[in-house]
Structure 1
Amino acid sequence: MSSSADSLLDWMTHQCAFSAKAMLRAISATQLVKIRAHLGQQIRPAHGSVLASPQIAAYDPDPDYFFHWLRDSAIVIDALRVLYEDRTLGPDALDHISDFMQFSLDLCRLDGRVVAERGDFRRNVSADFLRHVRSEKELRQVTGDRVLGEARYNPDGTLDILGWARPQNDGPALRALTALRVWRLEAFRQRADLGIAEQLLEADLDYTFNHWRDACFDLWEEIRGHHYYTRLLQLAALVEGAEWLEQKGDAARSRAFRAAADDISRCLDAHLDKDASYYRAFLPDFVQPSTIPDARRLDIAVVLGVIHAARSGDRHGVLDPKVLSTLLRLESLFTSEYKINQDRAADWGPAMGRYCGDVYFSGGAYYFSTLGVAQFYYLLAESLVRLAAIEISLEQREMFTGMFDAMPGQAFNTPGGRRKLAEAALKRGDMFMATVRIYTPPTGELAEQFSRDDGVQTSAKNLAWSYAAFITAHAGRNAASRAIGNCC
């Protein structure tokens, strides 16, 4: 290994340790208090809550991310599990996970009718901010399982009274996947109150089963429709949930979940564009047809869905040629769109954003997008050496030849060919890690974005998702490296 590679690996190890500490500051941050004077609120996070960012801000200019998002919190807790499994963290990690499950279960029991009937939730809101507050009618509808479509909550365990993009149906599915992965930890089952975890799983899986057909907003909270990211997480949650139910002896519900997963799989196939060359991130809600241009449908959300669902096999996973084609299109898009990608070094990957025409804050590169691509290639490397039973198709072969330089033209399906292919995938992942390194300040702090023009950090500071993405990408590299070392 070259000294430059050694240097990158050393930095990754150091940055992972920093990311773990920084991410932990967002979990059960009971020492913090957020004052929202315009809403008459004083918010102190409860045990088990996960802040999207612990930064105290109010769009001044940094955004107010002092909320517990279902999606972000599930991603963070999954990274916490990873840190426990690789022994970076000890038993305290399991305590945090138990607190998270209790807090999450309490959220499932919220009832908007109670807030509406109390009638005072608007009383302390400043007059010029009332237009941003939800109506009593809307809050009265947040009852039963509808509370799981809320997207975000105040970290003190109360409903968010601000108008927002609702419902969002990826959160319960993603949280179910996180809980199922934790459930497999023997140490967790030995020490945790499994009744709480079981109730949370039941709630999230039932919501996913009952609402997967519904149109909802995407993970960027901008477009109402049917989304590849959401559907793929729902598919994965129902498949893994069916296995869990089967182990519990609930054969009937297990069969129902599997049947729904088969239906979702067919819906996912409909996301292929007309030339069958990439997966479109969303399909319109046919009640409210979309006028959004096709270019907007090319979105990093597809790649993030694949790594968050973590499905094996060659459909809707890292080995799917259409997913690979989607990723290559995204790399080409951001290479051409971002100034910081124009003159990058040959051993850096392009900094990755969300989609064409993004205007949120700098509309630039995201740490979790760039790290997500690195993780994708590490998962691909591991899959290539572990899944020896899967033959590499002609279509995949053509994709790999275009993605990796200096690949041998012969036998991809031989052990030696697979190893070389896996090594090339790992190296490609390192290229994106090298890009993250260039745009990470000496402090190690990771914001949400870094500018497309000069790489300066923008948007929310200390984004918990950014740190979680680094942790899971680093773990993915370690797993891929071990798999390659044990291969052949």
Structure 2
Amino acid sequence: MRDILISALALAGTAFGQACQTTTLQTSLPSNGSEVVLRSYSYCGGIFNGSAYIANLDYNKVVSLAYTNAQGQSTPLSVVNFGYASGVGNGSQWEVWNTSTSLYIDGITELLNLTFQATDIGETYVQTLNLPVNASGAPAPTLPSPPAPYATPKGFGNDITSWLSISVGSESETAFARMFLNINPAVEGAVDGIVVAARSGPTYNQTDPDYEYHWVRDASLTMDVVQTLYAAATKAKPKTQYANILFEYATSRATEQNDPGLQTGLGEPKFYLNNTIFTGPWGRPQNDGPATSAITLMEFANSYLANGGSMDNVKQKIYNSATFSASAPVMKDLLFVASNWSSPSFDLWEEEESDHFYTRMVQRRALVMGASFATKMGDSNTSATLSTAATALTATLGQFWDPNREILLYEYGPVLANKASYLDIAVVLGVIHGYAGDGVYSYTNDEVLSSALRISTSFIDVYAIANTTADSSGRVLGIPIGRYPEDVYNGTGTQVNGGNPWYLCTAAMAQFMYSASTEFGDAGSISITNTSKPFFDYFAPGAGLQVGQSYEFGSNKYNAAINGLNGWGDAFLRTIKYYTPADGHLSEEFNRNTGVAQGAADLTWSYASVLTAAFARAELRGQKAYAKNLANLGVTANTS
């Protein structure tokens, strides 16, 4: 028999004269046959406390409680995990598992079921509850508002214009040269078409961390910069260089697809520099790679055709995997995306397996682009398949918006890796790499703006160097941006409070600001909602924008808002400039306390991200010759 006893216990004192109320469901050890039993629970001051009896059937156990949130909905987020507390009963036949979890943001209305997974023996036990929950004790706190801005930068800075100029010693030229040193690197055994992730590994002076691999995603994002340079180049020699590199990349991707050692299909994350599969333990699959690779190669093919290139070359060396499987990877990657987009995979940081906003965004862009591109290739069947998948995927994106947190969730599922804030710069990167140009989660989307604000400001209280808010000339430094506030990776291992700002993450916020500014300009107005207003209150407070109002291009308030976004874009790049070593080399991270560069040396993605931010800034300023002038430098012999 299950005793149901409601008892008032002061768990943590009283607030407003009201004690926390505990509901006790089980006063004695359960009988045999009841492998999982909720013992007691309370929801007090926004904190859920629970205790359960779990049968000691195996060693490895997972105990979780599903509930409905304040909106009466049950989602993958509406799950609380319990932890082991003690053994009880004869020979510890039973165990007590407890939880004390903050649920005030989500709220809780009903306990649905308690689940015990006995993973060693492959059994799952469930107790159905369907118990209404009444809050007690102090009122739950409300979602904190974003902080007040510590500065109000406006417009473009001459220092950043100079730093990014096409001139000897500028950061743009350094990033350009260092990035190409990592493409087809001069490393014994390396083959054409590969990109080493960093100059950190056995061949280089730095062996920890070992990044001497070709990552599918990192390589595709790097090659996307090469494609931008190809499209911009007007001199024949560099244009031919970029085209050759990109065709080599297409061949290397096809080789990867046909490797007999693939463990998870085309979602394999990384390869050795001889383009053979890495088979060691790793977070796999990573299903963003096939999408970003296909995007890059389709963009190149379109640019190549627009430049008078051969359609036969595109079909044989880029698109038609069915006939030319050894050289043309795009069709195969696109069909993989169409078949696997709904399957959980590891995130771009290679840490968590779930459904990720970043992955869905790049997959959607690949499918949308792919449907059009397949039609151009005369392949109506593949086009229809991709279009159907794109429609189905698009319908799922709305689930990532969390109205309680006012953010797009980086993943749709329970908290993993202790990332309880649900904040991750991967959301911003998902827009940068995954926006398909069709209005679906664009740079100016209200939910995207709200997310970008809360993600970026979350690092202010995490990194000590965020207290340095100006350079030696008094110019505003932007917030140093890391991957996520709870990060513990320090570039070589993990440690408590070990996560650092990343160059590529900080550059992403700069690029986001520039691209949002451009998109508002293209739209010709800025309309303010309750969701978007906090973004403008932080990044353009002087504009004084109000909910329900629309501000037309060229008006004083519109100009003030745009100047704020542009000023913050430069401020984020100024932070990178401030913490870049004198030689201009960019590692993976810079220390959260000292600002000194650390982690993998000469990270290719760091260089690529600075260049894409520079391209976005130049586009915003109408500097059409910027990418052309950089592209026309051409690639020097890669021997170092």
Shorter-chain TM-score tier: 0.7 to 0.9
1:97 partner SS: helix
Partner of residue 50, structure 1: 195
Worse overlay, 173-182 or 251-260: 251-260
Q: Which has the higher strand share?
A: 2
Of 576, 579, 584, the residue aligned with 1:436 is 576
Partner of residue 160, structure 2: 8
1:210 partner SS: helix
Partner of residue 392, structure 1: 527
Are residues 107 and 294 of structure 1, via their aligned partners in 2, closer, same or farther at CA, if it must alter by over 3 Å? closer
Partner of residue 87, structure 1: 233
Number of aligned residues: 437
TM-score normalised to structure 1 length: 0.83
Worse overlay, 406-415 or 359-368: 406-415
Any conservation in 2 of the 1:246–1:254 contact (CA below 8 Å)?
yes
Please tell me whether residue 73 in structure 1 is matched to residue 219 in structure 2.
Answer: yes
Partner of residue 152, structure 1: 270
Provide Cα deviations, 1:192-243, integer angstroms capped at 9, x if missing partner: 9321111311011011001101111111111011101001111111011111
Any conservation in 2 of the 1:397–1:412 contact (CA below 8 Å)?
no
Please tell me whether residue 319 in structure 1 is matched to residue 444 in structure 2.
Answer: yes
> Residues 185-334 of structure 1 correspond to what in structure 2 (within 5 A)?
185=303, 186-187=306-307, 189-190=309-310, 193-194=313-314, 195-198=316-319, 199-275=328-404, 277-284=406-413, 292-293=417-418, 295-334=420-459
Any conservation in 2 of the 1:212–1:231 contact (CA below 8 Å)?
yes
Letter in 2 for 1:436: I
Q: How far apart are the structure 1 equivalents of 2:255 and 2:403?
A: 44
Q: How far apart are the structure 1 equivalents of 2:575 and 2:334?
A: 38
Letter in 1 for 2:433: H
Provide Cα deviations, 1:418-452, integer angstroms capped at 9, x if missing partner: 45433332221111011010001110100000010
Partner of residue 487, structure 2: 358
Q: How far apart are the structure 2 equivalents of 1:281 and 1:270?
A: 11
Are residues 258 and 391 of structure 1, via their aligned partners in 2, closer, same or farther at CA, if it must alter by over 3 Å? farther
Letter in 2 for 1:24: F
Of 552, 559, 563, the residue aligned with 1:414 is 552
* Bigger relative contact order (CA 8 A; separation at least 6): 1
Any conservation in 2 of the 1:382–1:422 contact (CA below 8 Å)?
no
Partner of residue 17, structure 1: 173
Are residues 155 and 290 of structure 1, via their aligned partners in 2, closer, same or farther at CA, if it must alter by over 3 Å? same
Worse overlay, 4-13 or 453-462: 4-13
Letter in 1 for 2:337: T
Provide Cα deviations, 1:383-438, integer angstroms capped at 9, x if missing partner: 111133x7624343553243213215486431213454333322211110110100
Q: How far apart are the structure 2 equivalents of 1:375 and 1:455?
A: 21
Q: CA deviation at 1:464?
A: 0.3
Partner of residue 115, structure 1: none
Q: CA deviation at 1:255?
A: 3.1
Are residues 190 and 16 of structure 1, via their aligned partners in 2, closer, same or farther at CA, if it must alter by over 3 Å? farther
Q: How far apart are the structure 2 equivalents of 1:67 and 1:330?
A: 30
Provide Cα deviations, 1:286-322, integer angstroms capped at 9, x if missing partner: xxx6555562521010001110113335432211111
Letter in 2 for 1:10: S
Higher Rg: 2
* Cα RMSD after superposing both structures: 2.6
Any conservation in 2 of the 1:28–1:46 contact (CA below 8 Å)?
yes
Are residues 397 and 283 of structure 1, via their aligned partners in 2, closer, same or farther at CA, if it must alter by over 3 Å? closer
Q: CA deviation at 1:351?
A: 0.6
Q: How far apart are the structure 2 equivalents of 1:385 and 1:315?
A: 18
Q: CA deviation at 1:16?
A: 0.9
Q: CA deviation at 1:7?
A: 2.4
Any conservation in 1 of the 2:553–2:559 contact (CA below 8 Å)?
yes
Any conservation in 2 of the 1:386–1:483 contact (CA below 8 Å)?
no
2:343 partner SS: coil
Q: How far apart are the structure 2 equivalents of 1:68 and 1:465?
A: 12
Q: How far apart are the structure 2 equivalents of 1:483 and 1:22?
A: 24
Provide Cα deviations, 1:435-487, integer angstroms capped at 9, x if missing partner: 01000111010000001010111110000000000110000000011189xxx
Any conservation in 1 of the 2:510–2:613 contact (CA below 8 Å)?
yes
1:148 partner SS: coil
1:91 partner SS: helix
Of 451, 461, 478, the residue aligned with 2:601 is 461
Partner of residue 513, structure 2: 377
Letter in 1 for 2:575: T
Of 541, 554, 563, the residue aligned with 1:405 is 541
Letter in 2 for 1:261: A
Are residues 188 and 165 of structure 1, via their aligned partners in 2, closer, same or farther at CA, if it must alter by over 3 Å? farther
Partner of residue 133, structure 1: none
Of 432, 435, 460, the residue aligned with 1:335 is 460
Letter in 2 for 1:49: I
TM-score normalised to structure 2 length: 0.64
Of 565, 570, 586, the residue aligned with 1:425 is 565
> Residues 108-187 of structure 1 correspond to what in structure 2 (within 5 A)?
108-112=257-261, 142=263, 146-185=264-303, 186-187=306-307
Q: How far apart are the structure 2 equivalents of 1:15 and 1:374?
A: 15
Q: Which has the higher helix share?
A: 1
Letter in 2 for 1:392: S
Q: CA deviation at 1:3?
A: 12
Q: How far apart are the structure 2 equivalents of 1:434 and 1:188?
A: 40
Letter in 2 for 1:32: V
Q: How far apart are the structure 2 equivalents of 1:397 and 1:483?
A: 30
Partner of residue 187, structure 2: 32
Q: How far apart are the structure 2 equivalents of 1:429 and 1:196?
A: 38
Letter in 1 for 2:183: I
Provide Cα deviations, 1:309-353, integer angstroms capped at 9, x if missing partner: 133354322111111111111222111100000132261110100
Q: How far apart are the structure 1 equivalents of 2:401 and 2:419?
A: 12
Provide Cα deviations, 1:130-174, integer angstroms capped at 9, x if missing partner: xxxxxxxxx6xx3xxx44111001110111122111111000001
Any conservation in 1 of the 2:499–2:592 contact (CA below 8 Å)?
yes
Q: How far apart are the structure 1 equivalents of 2:438 and 2:155?
A: 35
1:184 partner SS: helix
Q: How far apart are the structure 1 equivalents of 2:385 and 2:522?
A: 31
